[in-house]
Amino acid sequence: MSGNRQIVVTGIGVVTACGGDRETFWQSLTSGTTGIAPIDPPQPLISFPNVAACSDFDPEARFDVRMHRKLDRSAQFGLAAADEAIAHSGIEWDDNLRGRTGVIAGCSIGGSHTQDLCYERLYKLNKVRSEPMAVPNIMPSASTSQISMKYGFRGPSFTMTTACASSGHALGMALWMLRTGQLDVAVSGGHEAMLNLGSLLAWDGLRVVSSSVCKPFADKRPGMVLGEGGAMLVLETLESARARGATIYAELAGFGMNADAHHLTAPSLEGPTGAIQAALADAGLAPTDIEYINAHGTGTSGNDMNEIAAIKSAFGDHAHKLAISSTKSMHGHTIGAAGGIEAAATVLALHHGILPPTINSSPLDPACDLDVIPDVARKQDISAALSNSFAFGGLNAVLAFKKA
């Protein structure tokens, strides 16, 4: 990709079931604390017992009354994560910089809570008029618009919708736009909230959701656990971060993406392998430079085995020297927010020199015979890492990060 500006992370904001802010999230990951819990209130129509809900998230404490009432939960997560990331970055915006700042987010489903309420009003309560804000709340780009309006950011801003790779693609697009000078600062990541009855029933129909907890790479793993949340990173040039004396958490060094062109739900080996290779090439990294991978690691039989095979294909003998973990074992699969949340985990791992574990991974599937950091976090200084996002429909996004 043309453009030679180095792009770094100077702000991080997170809302997950493992914690409603960056620090609590990181403490949960490094202590192996799960956010997965029984569905509350119980849903007798749903066959699976657990989700990873942001039960401690209080919109009334985050926003004024007018704001929290007009925003769907999905957009609330995006805005709350952006608020934390922007404050964390310490950037002081002037009018010129606001015109050079963009918001690039990922969201797969959009305002599904609002959509559920609309259907309930229509089909159960026989009300033919929806709430006036229904459409603006349902659109996946609602959070992008709210962030840009709140902070006056007038640069190119948009939302990516590519299923589970949505925020991975968003961060990659932000990187390339910053590199080539289309933006000077980007607020980028993702958000998702779909733990409502309609969405849960839809996922139930796929028969991929766990009957217990999430056990990535484990033998006889029962499937994925649905989660919700959001994460946003503030990205800027290395030059500008150094000039203002900012804390630099990591460099976003490369991005690779492609399509399997294979199947709507079943993964291929060639697609993920190629996306990993493209990310390495874009970052100017050799396979042997990578020491850690935050895996897509959904806990489903097909995905985990295929991802391990793709890592072996891309890295060869070096695959057995890699440390790999799936933090979905703790915060669940947050669909459109997954790439953003897992990018935040990867950045924090680089910055702190601690690699989060894959909990519930023992006993290991013999087909997943790489180092998946079972159960306990590992102190290890690393210099380069990948974050994988592999979506339904074969849409793949891989981010490469380097230690700052």
Residue 253 amino acid letter: A
d(CA 134, CA 142): 11
* pLDDT at residue 130, as a whole number: 86
d(CA 7, CA 338): 21
Residue ranges, comma separated, of all CATH 3.40.47.10 domains in the chain are: 8-243, 254-402
Judged by phi (left if over 0) then psi (alpha if -120 to 50, else beta), residue 373 lies in left
Smallest Cα–Cα separation from 351: which of 381, 316, 318? 381
254-402: CATH topology: Peroxisomal Thiolase; Chain A, domain 1 (3.40.47)
Q: How many residues does the chain have?
A: 404
Cα distances (angstroms) measured from residue 12 to each of 277, 341, 391:
27, 10, 24
* Per-position pLDDT tens, the chain of length 404: 557 899 999 999 999 999 999 999 999 999 999 999 999 999 999 999 999 999 999 999 999 877 767 899 999 999 999 999 999 999 999 999 999 999 999 999 999 999 999 999 999 999 988 888 899 999 999 999 999 999 999 999 999 999 999 999 999 999 999 999 999 999 999 999 999 999 999 999 999 999 999 999 999 999 999 999 999 999 999 999 999 999 999 999 999 999 999 999 999 999 999 999 999 999 999 999 999 999 999 999 999 999 999 999 999 999 999 999 999 999 999 999 999 999 999 999 999 999 999 999 999 999 999 999 999 999 999 999 999 999 999 999 999 999 99
* pLDDT at residue 218, as a whole number: 98
Which residues are catalytic, by number?
Answer: 164, 296, 333
For tokens 């009354």, the residue is 65
Write the pLDDT tens digit of every residue in 76-90: 999 999 999 999 999
Give the single-character DSSP code of 21.
S
d(CA 269, CA 284): 23
Residue 348 amino acid letter: L
Residue 156 amino acid letter: P
* 377 contact partners, CB below 8 Å, separation of at least 6: 29, 30, 31, 32, 354, 355, 356, 357
For tokens 């009003």, the residue is 121
What is the residue-wise DSSP string for 324-356?
EE-THHHH-B-GGGHHHHHHHHHHHHHHHTEEP
Structure tokens at 229: 């949340």
What is the residue-wise DSSP string for 264-302?
SSS--SHHHHHHHHHHHHHHT--GGG--EEE----S-HH
- CATH level 2 (architecture), domain 8-243: 3-Layer(aba) Sandwich (3.40)
Residue 368 amino acid letter: C
* pLDDT at residue 68, as a whole number: 67
Chain centre distance of CA 94: 29
d(CA 89, CA 82): 10
d(CA 182, CA 176): 9
